[in-house]
C-alpha cells in the first residue's frame, strides 16, 4: 500500500499544508456482490463430483448439480457459500464443507476519466479501493490537480450525497491521503481526476505569469504567489472573468485596502481569471 501510494502521489502538485484532523470518507458496503458474467469456483470437500466452475447467468443464477438453478446475483461469496451449504445439507449431504471463490470478475466495473494515464472502464475485484483503481489507471498525468471526484451512479454515499470530492495533498502521503485512498468503490462509480486550472496575474507584481489554482485561491493569494506588489503597485486590482457558456466578459474591481480592513471580501478565483494590479498614480 505504502509504495503504491507514494508513487501515485508523486505527480500530484503540492497543496497547502492540510489540516491535522483526519476525516473519514462516507461509508459504503465493502464486500463484492456477485453478478451476471462472474465465474465462480465451488469446491465441495470429499465430494469432488460436486465441485464446479459455474458462470453466473444473465438471470442471476448458476446451474449446479442436484440443486438446479441457484440464485446468487447480489450476494457476497460468503452468502453464496452459506446458501449452497444449506441447500446441500437439507436434502443431500451430511455436514457438507463448501468453499466458494470468484475465479473471474466480469460483472462490476467503475469508470476512470480525466487526468489519468490510462482512463477507461476498470473491473471491480473483491474489495476494490480508490487507490487500486487509480494505480490500474496508470496514476495521474502531469496535468492533474490532485482533486478526485467520485460520482455514485447506482445509489448514494452515506448522508445522501451522490458525489464526493477528495483532495490529495501530493508529495509525502498524509494520514488523510491514506484514509481517502482506502475508500471502497461500488459498481458504476465514476472517478474523475480533475485537471489543474490556471489564473493569470499581471501588472505591478514581482513575478507576473500563469499560476495553478489550488483550493480556495483568492485575489490576495494569487498576488502572493506572484511575489507581491512591486514598489509601483497600487491597491487597485481588476479581475477579468469570462463566462465559458456565453463568452461574455466582466470586470470585477477589488480594493486590497478594503479587503485588509474587512470592508470587502477576498474574491475567490475561478479558472482563467486574469488579475491585473494597477500602477500607482504619483
Instruction: Determine contact, residues 213/199, Cβ cutoff 8 Å.
Output: yes
Q: For residue range 136-183, what is the model confidence (pLDDT) as tens digits?
A: 999 999 888 888 889 988 777 776 777 877 877 665 667 877 788 888
Distance CA 275, CA 109 (A): 43
3-state secondary structure of 29: coil
Which cell goes with 139?
496514476
Class of residue 18 by CB neighbours under 10 A (exposed 0-12, middle 13-18, buried 19+): middle
Residue 80's closest CA among 40, 37, 125?
A: 40
> Residue 181 has what pLDDT?
85
Phi/psi at 137 (5° precision): -85, 10
> Residue 16 has what pLDDT?
46
Instruction: Give the sign of the dihedral formed by CA 204, CA 210, CA 214, CA 218.
Output: positive
pLDDT above 90 covers a percentage of the chain that reads 59
Segment 115-122 mean pLDDT: 94
Segment 75-84 mean pLDDT: 96
> Residue 7 has what pLDDT?
57
> Residue 21 has what pLDDT?
47
Collect all residues with Cβ–Cβ distance below 8 Å to 101 and sequence separation of at least 6. Answer: 40, 41, 43, 77
Indicate the pLDDT class of residue 66, thresholds 50, 70 and 90: very high
How far are the Cα atoms of 63, 99, 140, 273 from residue 93, in angstroms, in the given order? Answer: 18, 15, 53, 73
pTM (whole model) above 0.85:
no
Check whether domain 198-279 has CATH 3.40.640.10, yes or no: no
Indicate the pLDDT class of residue 1, thresholds 50, 70 and 90: low
Distance CA 151, CA 15 (A): 23
Segment 107-124 mean pLDDT: 94
At the topology level, CATH places domain 39-104 in wza like fold (3.30.1950)
**Chain mean pLDDT for the chain:** 86
Ranges in the chain annotated CATH 3.30.1950.10? 39-104
- Say yes or no to pLDDT of 23 above 90: no
Class of residue 79 by CB neighbours under 10 A (exposed 0-12, middle 13-18, buried 19+): middle
Segment 121-142 mean pLDDT: 90
Ranges in the chain annotated CATH 3.10.560.10? 2-30+108-195, 198-279
> Residue 17 has what pLDDT?
45
Q: For residue range 265-282, what is the model confidence (pLDDT) as tens digits?
A: 999 998 899 999 999 876
- Say yes or no to pLDDT of 127 above 90: no
Indicate the pLDDT class of residue 25, thresholds 50, 70 and 90: very low
pLDDT above 70 covers a percentage of the chain that reads 85
Indicate the pLDDT class of residue 67, thresholds 50, 70 and 90: very high
Question: DSSP state, 85?
Answer: H
Q: Which CATH architecture has domain 2-30+108-195?
A: Roll (3.10)
Residue 41's closest CA among 54, 31, 50?
A: 54
Amino acid at each position: 500500500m505504502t509504495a503504491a501510494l507514494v508513487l501515485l502521489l508523486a505527480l500530484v502538485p503540492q497543496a497547502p499544508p492540510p489540516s491535522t484532523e483526519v476525516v473519514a470518507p462516507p461509508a459504503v458496503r465493502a464486500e463484492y456482490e456477485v453478478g451476471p458474467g462472474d465465474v465462480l469456483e465451488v469446491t465441495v470437500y470429499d465430494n469432488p463430483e460436486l465441485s464446479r466452475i459455474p458462470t453466473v447467468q444473465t438471470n442471476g443464477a448458476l446451474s449446479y448439480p442436484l440443486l438446479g438453478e441457484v440464485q446468487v446475483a447480489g450476494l457476497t461469496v460468503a452468502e453464496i457459500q452459506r446458501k449452497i451449504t444449506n441447500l446441500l445439507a437439507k436434502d443431500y449431504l451430511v455436514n457438507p464443507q463448501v468453499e466458494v471463490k470468484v475465479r473471474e470478475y466480469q460483472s462490476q466495473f467503475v469508470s476512470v476519466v480525466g487526468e489519468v494515464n490510462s482512463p477507461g472502464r476498470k473491473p471491480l475485484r473483491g474489495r476494490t479501493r480508490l487507490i487500486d483503481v487509480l494505480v490500474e489507471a496508470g496514476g495521474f498525468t502531469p496535468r492533474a490537480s490532485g482533486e478526485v471526484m467520485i460520482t455514485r451512479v447506482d445509489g448514494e454515499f452515506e448522508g445522501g450525497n451522490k458525489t464526493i470530492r477528495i483532495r490529495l495533498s501530493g508529495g509525502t502521503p498524509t494520514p488523510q491521503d491514506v484514509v481517502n485512498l482506502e475508500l471502497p468503490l461500488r459498481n458504476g462509480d465514476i472517478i474523475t481526476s480533475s485537471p489543474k486550472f490556471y489564473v493569470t496575474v499581471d501588472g505591478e507584481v514581482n513575478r507576473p505569469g500563469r499560476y495553478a489554482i489550488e483550493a480556495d485561491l483568492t485575489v490576495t493569494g494569487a498576488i502572493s504567489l506572484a511575489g507581491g506588489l512591486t514598489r509601483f503597485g497600487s491597491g487597485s486590482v481588476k479581475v477579468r472573468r469570462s463566462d465559458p457558456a456565453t463568452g461574455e466578459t466582466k470586470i470585477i474591481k477589488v480594493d486590497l485596502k478594503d479587503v485588509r480592513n474587512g470592508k470587502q471580501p477576498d474574491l475567490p478565483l475561478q479558472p482563467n481569471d486574469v488579475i491585473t494590479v494597477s500602477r500607482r498614480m504619483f
